Chains A and B, each alone.
Chain A
Amino acid sequence: MAQYDLTNQLSEYMDLHLVFPLLEFLSTRRIYDESSLTESKYQLLQNTNMVDFTIDVFRSLHPGEDAPAALGEKREDVVRQLNYLQQRSSQVIEIFSKQDVTDVAEKNRDSQELWNYLGENYNFQREQLEDVFHYGKFMYDVGNYAIASSHLDIYRNIAPADSKFYSSAQWGKLASEILQQNWDQAMDELERLKDNIMAAVHLTQSEVLIQRAWLVHWGLFVYFNHPQGRDKLIDDFLHQKTYLNAIQTMCPHILRYITTAVVISKRRRDGVKELIKVLQQESYKDPITEFVESLYVNFDFDEAQSKLKQCTTVIENDFFIVGCLDDFTENARLIISEIFCRIHQRIEIDMLADKLNMAPAEAEKWVVNMIRLAHLDAKIDSKNGYVVMGGTSTPIYQKLIDKTKDLHLKANSCCQKVDKKLALGI
């Protein structure tokens, strides 16, 4: 299934630390060679400050060998830096936790006055604030996301929005929340970042585009873990032109996730039209998008059915949507049957079962359920084993009557309006 694996494309837009979960997931799926995965993990780790972890990975990669000396040196270096930054940032935090400072800060946040006050009383320079950020970043690199998150938060709350590291801090915060799996906070962060990107005037168009692409990718963590994530994903990515543009331009592979979200969404109908348009424009293809296309564009149920089978494997091997597998299968069936029923008058249950990848008995049960839940206007002819659709189209006379029957009411109300106006003498 490696051909449908997107980790490579995805990681291009991910932060280094965010790639680890993906790699971990892949190693459990065993679709790649284990050692090559570990190797790439090791490569990644070299760029972080998580030295201990690196050493561990190295040992698993080369059992019996000692970790390279460079790593040991790096470890010491990291510890030294850590202490230094910690000390520097704690000074700042100390200042900002003082009562008088918070008072002033509350009164004039972001203003010159606060800085003047700090400068006079604590000999505080603006640059010192950056130590907090550096410490946060360092902690993130080390892998201590909780501390990173809290420090970046502090920095972000104090620093004015035009500071050098402000947007970096935001991205860092989002990453930290994602890695701590605080989905609610992460969602909030995502929203904030979105606003920020929207409001950013100093960024060039292509920078904005790139940032959007990052947001889309990082957001996948959140959208597929947060309870309302899927619907939000549709709203944010499919219905917002700016993000859709970014996806089409930079990373059409995201369409897989949008498609998945649309299929499992309760409000499928709104999304599907838009989605079909987009899918038609893009050349990106995988079983999931092909499934939707075969249903809504080609009306080829056989193909849809075979694609649905493939979808299962694809979903099983995708870090983000693996949790949606059941939902997806269920909804895909629903879609198939919905369309199937619309074009048929009578169907054998066996055939339906076949199209839905179910056993006949199971399918019958499923149809019964559908009928009971009023999803389906049909009856089961159990002697012959048919499902008979009800409700043919409304006759033309009925349509005409429907169309014209309000005219009477409307005309009446208009008359009243006229009368009223006449009475008022307008």
Chain B
Amino acid sequence: STQSTGGDSSDESSSSESEAEMPVARAPVRQYASILEESDDEKRVVRSSKDKRFSEINEAIKAIRNAKKIKDISKVFEGFNSLCSTYTKSQNVIAKNGTPKAFIRCVADLETFVLAVWEDKEQRSKLNKINSKALGALKQNVRKFNKAFETDIEEYRKNPDNYEEVIEEDESDNDDDLETAKDSAKQAKKSRTSSSRAFDEDDDEAGGDGMSDDDSDDMWNESDDSSSSDDEMPAIGYTAAYFLKKKDDDKKERPERKKKAPKQQQPRTSTSKEDEGWTTVSGVEKVAKEKPLFEEGTEITVDVVNQKIAELSSIRGRRGANRKKNIETFELLTETCYKENLGIPVVAKCLYYTCLAIFDYNPSMSACMVVDIWVQLLVTLDKLLTLLEGHREVHFVEGLPDEEENLENPEKPLTVAGSILVIMERADDEFTKLLRNLDPHGTEYVQRLSDEAKLCVVILRIKAELATRKASNNEMCRIYLREIEHLYYKVDYSAEKGGTGNSKAKMDELCKFIYRIESSDHSGDLDRIRTRAMLCHIYHHALHNRWSEARDLMLMSHLQHGISHADIPTKILHNRTMVQLGLCAFRNGYIQHAHTTLNEIQSSQKSKELLAQGLSTQRMSERNLEQEKIEKQRQIPFHMHINLELLEYSYLTCAMLLEVPHMAAHQFEQRRKLSRTFHQQLRNAEKNPLIGPPDSMREHLVASAKAMMKADWKTCADTLLAHKIWNLMPNAEDVKAMLKQKIKEESLRTYMFTYSACYDSISPMVLSRMFDLSNKQIHALISKMILNDELKASWDKPTDLLILHRAESSKLQSLAKQTADKLTHVMDNTEKMLGQGTTFTSRGNAAASLTWPNNIFGAGNGSLQMGFPIGMSGDSSRGGHRNYQDRSRNYQDRNRNYQDRSNAGNAGYNGRSRGGYNNAGGYNNNSGGYNNNTQYTSRVY
């Protein structure tokens, strides 16, 4: 890349082109710059508030001067106005630093100029209408405005040299930095003593942000100038001033030069050595050579680098900036710092900014990084980390203003503004984005996935670093969370094979660290981290079949309470966790729990969205482009997906196991449907004119449900388990065995419900043969049915027969019963209406006739929202839903898990003498408990 400036301008044009093409993609750049690197941004404001204002003033001054030269009074007036407004805006900066001399000079000159024009009657008459009007206004305004600076102006008039010099030095300084950066970027070995801003002054485009144009002129001029000014080299300031005076002479040449500039650029830079041998030095030397420019050698060098960084970072995200170049520039800078031994902090800072520049490379937040760039990022991060590991004395401080950085003073702690954690987090996010945008079935995906290991290593190293550097709790939690999030969804195969599952221990350790952090300030951030850690913890438990741990943690954590207020990624994680919990329950044979847990997410018909695993197609029309884009950004990378097919099949299997006996038990009643989705499947299947052998997953299910309705457990089990999707289930064989057993049991129940009316007595031996269950199992199952009043029967022990009491009511009878119920209800309502209040004692009769087993489910439960249902009876007429109100405990309460229990027994009887428990707050026994246990948050968004 030999043509830095040329490249610049071309880049500018290309970027403006691309801007024209995709205006939408533009916006996020700014957003990114301001939101993501908040700390940085803040810094920049702090640093440049003075510089920025002053440069604004300078800009305005320049504009005025340019306009003055072509005697465009209206332009001058405009410039003056902008100068005034800038001045008022900069009041507080000026109050601190004094009025800039350039400003004084400008207003003074302006006054002279205006007066001169005013006096020159002849010229004034030549002015067009607009200009003459402007002249009048300008004259008045200037006089008014200048009154405030009378003394300064006077002083200026006395010795104008004083003033000029200062400005020029300032300017040259700035330009120098810029140039240095450019230089190193293109590796042009060229040094310059001073810049020639002065020559730009009539550059019409200077006002805009056409930076590259500006630059090209600069370079141009300057090479020219430097040759003529070599004598004055040591006295930079004066040199500049000297040039300044010459500007009028140069002016005439300007147009020509400008035309030449782009053409000349290339040859000059490439052949710079020959052309200007005496000024050409290596980039490194350049830095070294800059030293004498300032009074104190090394320190200033650090400053120079520093300023350059500031300069470069200030153009971050601007459209003119060449992002690729920026990265290279920073890398070069880093190298330079290494070579020059400028000290570790500076190198660290350079590396840090290289990372930032890499992030900047992406034009838009939503677009994903190029793979190479990401790898480069990782490498840079790795370097930075290695550096920091070697030099514990260097600290990154987040949110530190640039002025307070300490890059070289070894007496004070060495600090660099910035946060390595932020970089890491961003790198991690970019990685996720990268994966999201890859085809999950391609080899590229797998390749990238292998990078995760490296990323994890980096995370671990940063964790160790932060730990040794005693980072704040918040930071530690953040890094821990990152580690957790890379761990939680991975199956620990060693644990499954009966080995020591170290991922469980790891997970416990990480999560407990986060739980233990006192949430003294309930800052949302820490709460969010804790919530996420907990969800991951539960997920991990559930994934490894640790049902009771997962359930307990879920119940104790009160997560379900606040989840509707959480941010969407957390909600998605919550949904994933709930699904995983449901699957875990399923694998463990807690069919009822599994059903309730999965019901919510399956019945919504948009499990894909809820789990952020793709967009369901049928609802495409409801979603506009913007929404779709947002949703796409939320997607979970493929390797973390939960298999939706398996999920649905598991859910439907649960539904079948519960629903079929339920349907059989309530043949004539208008039954409450346990699962709408299941019924929908059945209905859909009935619409088919021809039913062939089952092929798809749903057909398998319907066929097996049909078999179960006929209590044909064998066909049912065979059909259901034939589908190969079960092989995706961990412990597939165990799960299949469990399902087979369940199918037998539920088939038996279905059989008893459906056909018991046909029997007077039945031998358990027959049943045992029919359902391939042991005599004991038959006995237990039927006993349970009898006790739950599901079956009117009793055992006759001596003959070992089940005697059926023919209590099954015919359709007429059950309708009569329902009528009676309804009549009672009407009666009650009437009584209430009459204000009788107290009800008849006889109302309890119906309930009294139901004996113990039915009451176990408590009549009141119907009104409560469903919680985890208790698996006490597979099918109870009341739905058997248990609410968890009674378990409204907080995970923090269960301090026994996370905090050391000091020995209460030996603590003496002073109730408050024990300090081992920190108050995590939020323990509230009556806080409403678990009503919304399974409330999936998805509804919120």
Residues of A within 8 A of B870 (CB): 277, 280
B787 engages A407 (CB within 8 Å): no
Contact of A346 among B798, B834, B910 (CB under 8 A): B798
Give the shortest distance, in Å, between A241 (CB) and chain B (any CB). Answer: 6
Interface locus among A93-101, A107-115, A203-211, A369-377: A203-211
B798 engages A206 (CB within 8 Å): no
A242 engages B925 (CB within 8 Å): yes
A171 engages B911 (CB within 8 Å): yes
- Whether, in the assembled complex, A158 has its beta carbon less than 8 Å from a beta carbon of chain B, the answer is no
B909 engages A171 (CB within 8 Å): yes
Residues A324-360 near B (CB distance < 8 A): 339, 342-348, 351
Q: Mask for A14-29, Cβ within 8 A of B = 1, else 0?
A: 1110110000000000
Residues of A within 8 A of B797 (CB): 344-348, 351, 386
Residues of B within 8 A of A283 (CB): 548
B856 engages A276 (CB within 8 Å): yes
Residues of B within 8 A of A165 (CB): 910
Interface locus among A55-63, A82-90, A294-302: A294-302
Tell me whether A204 and B921 are in contact in the complex, defined as CB-CB below 8 angstroms, given that A300-B780, A389-B794 are known contacts: yes
Q: Which residue of A lies closest to B789 (CB)?
A: A393
Residues of A within 8 A of B905 (CB): 11-16, 18-19
Q: Which residue of A lies closest to B851 (CB)?
A: A342
- Whether, in the assembled complex, B681 has its beta carbon less than 8 Å from a beta carbon of chain A, the answer is no
Contact of B795 among A245, A345, A393 (CB under 8 A): A345
Give the shortest distance, in Å, between A267 (CB) and chain B (any CB). Answer: 13
- Whether, in the assembled complex, B683 has its beta carbon less than 8 Å from a beta carbon of chain A, the answer is no
Q: How extensive is the interface on chain A, given as a class?
A: 35 or more
B827 engages A410 (CB within 8 Å): yes
B895 engages A206 (CB within 8 Å): yes
Contact of A207 among B817, B824, B886, B919 (CB under 8 A): B919
A402 engages B845 (CB within 8 Å): yes
CA distance A389 to B786 in the complex (A): 15
Residues of B within 8 A of A400 (CB): 813, 816-817, 820
CA distance A298 to B807 in the complex (A): 24
A205 engages B921 (CB within 8 Å): yes
CA distance A16 to B924 in the complex (A): 30
Q: Which residue of A lies closest to B820 (CB)?
A: A403
- Whether, in the assembled complex, B315 has its beta carbon less than 8 Å from a beta carbon of chain A, the answer is no
- Whether, in the assembled complex, A30 has its beta carbon less than 8 Å from a beta carbon of chain B, the answer is no
Residues of A within 8 A of B780 (CB): 298-300
Tell me whether A167 and B911 are in contact in the complex, defined as CB-CB below 8 angstroms, given that A11-B905, A299-B784 are known contacts: yes
- Whether, in the assembled complex, A31 has its beta carbon less than 8 Å from a beta carbon of chain B, the answer is no
Residues B903-927 near A (CB distance < 8 A): 903-906, 908-912, 914, 917-926
- Whether, in the assembled complex, B792 has its beta carbon less than 8 Å from a beta carbon of chain A, the answer is yes
Dominant secondary structure at the A interface: helix
CA distance A254 to B385 in the complex (A): 52
Give the shortest distance, in Å, between A419 (CB) and chain B (any CB). Answer: 11
- Whether, in the assembled complex, B755 has its beta carbon less than 8 Å from a beta carbon of chain A, the answer is no
A241 engages B912 (CB within 8 Å): no
- Whether, in the assembled complex, B687 has its beta carbon less than 8 Å from a beta carbon of chain A, the answer is no
A175 engages B909 (CB within 8 Å): yes
CA distance A407 to B824 in the complex (A): 7
Q: Which residue of A lies closest to B882 (CB)?
A: A277
Tell me whether A393 and B805 are in contact in the complex, defined as CB-CB below 8 angstroms, given that A12-B904, A207-B919, A346-B796 are known contacts: yes
Tell me whether A207 and B912 are in contact in the complex, defined as CB-CB below 8 angstroms, given that A16-B906, A393-B805 are known contacts: yes
A411 engages B827 (CB within 8 Å): yes
CA distance A405 to B805 in the complex (A): 25
Q: Mask for B857-869, Cβ within 8 A of A = 1, else 0?
A: 0100000000000
A249 engages B909 (CB within 8 Å): no
- Whether, in the assembled complex, A418 has its beta carbon less than 8 Å from a beta carbon of chain B, the answer is yes
Give the shortest distance, in Å, between B100 (CB) and chain A (any CB). Answer: 59
Tell me whether A396 and B809 are in contact in the complex, defined as CB-CB below 8 angstroms, given that A16-B906, A206-B919 are known contacts: yes
Interface locus among B302-310, B594-602, B836-844: B836-844
A403 engages B821 (CB within 8 Å): yes
Give the shortest distance, in Å, between B807 (CB) and chain A (any CB). Answer: 6
Give the shortest distance, in Å, between B462 (CB) and chain A (any CB). Answer: 33
Residues B348-382 near A (CB distance < 8 A): none
- Whether, in the assembled complex, A250 has its beta carbon less than 8 Å from a beta carbon of chain B, the answer is yes
Q: Mask for A247-264, Cβ within 8 A of B = 1, else 0?
A: 011100000000000000
A342 engages B786 (CB within 8 Å): yes
Residues of A within 8 A of B830 (CB): 414
Q: Which residue of B lies closest to A166 (CB)?
A: B911
- Whether, in the assembled complex, A3 has its beta carbon less than 8 Å from a beta carbon of chain B, the answer is no
Q: Which residue of A lies closest to B799 (CB)?
A: A346
CA distance A298 to B923 in the complex (A): 35
Q: Which residue of B lies closest to A339 (CB)?
A: B787
B896 engages A299 (CB within 8 Å): no
Residues of A within 8 A of B933 (CB): none
Residues B876-905 near A (CB distance < 8 A): 882, 885-890, 892-896, 901, 903-905
Residues of A within 8 A of B556 (CB): 249
Residues of B within 8 A of A121 (CB): none
Residues of B within 8 A of A345 (CB): 794-797, 803
Q: Which residue of B lies closest to A203 (CB)?
A: B912
B858 engages A273 (CB within 8 Å): yes
A15 engages B909 (CB within 8 Å): yes
- Interface contacts beyond A19-B905, A204-B917, A411-B827: sample of 14 additional A-B pairs, CB < 8 Å, sorted by A: A12-B904, A15-B905, A204-B921, A206-B892, A249-B894, A249-B896, A250-B893, A281-B887, A342-B786, A343-B783, A394-B849, A402-B846, A403-B817, A407-B823
List residues of chain A with CB under 8 Å of any chain B CB.
Answer: 11-16, 18-19, 44, 47, 137, 140, 165, 167-168, 171-172, 175, 203-211, 213-214, 241-242, 244-245, 248-250, 269, 272-273, 276-278, 280-281, 283, 296-300, 302, 339, 342-348, 351, 384, 386, 389, 392-396, 399-400, 402-407, 409-411, 413-414, 417-418, 421
9 nearest interchain CB pairs? Answer: A205-B923, A204-B919, A406-B842, A171-B909, A345-B794, A11-B905, A299-B783, A403-B820, A14-B905
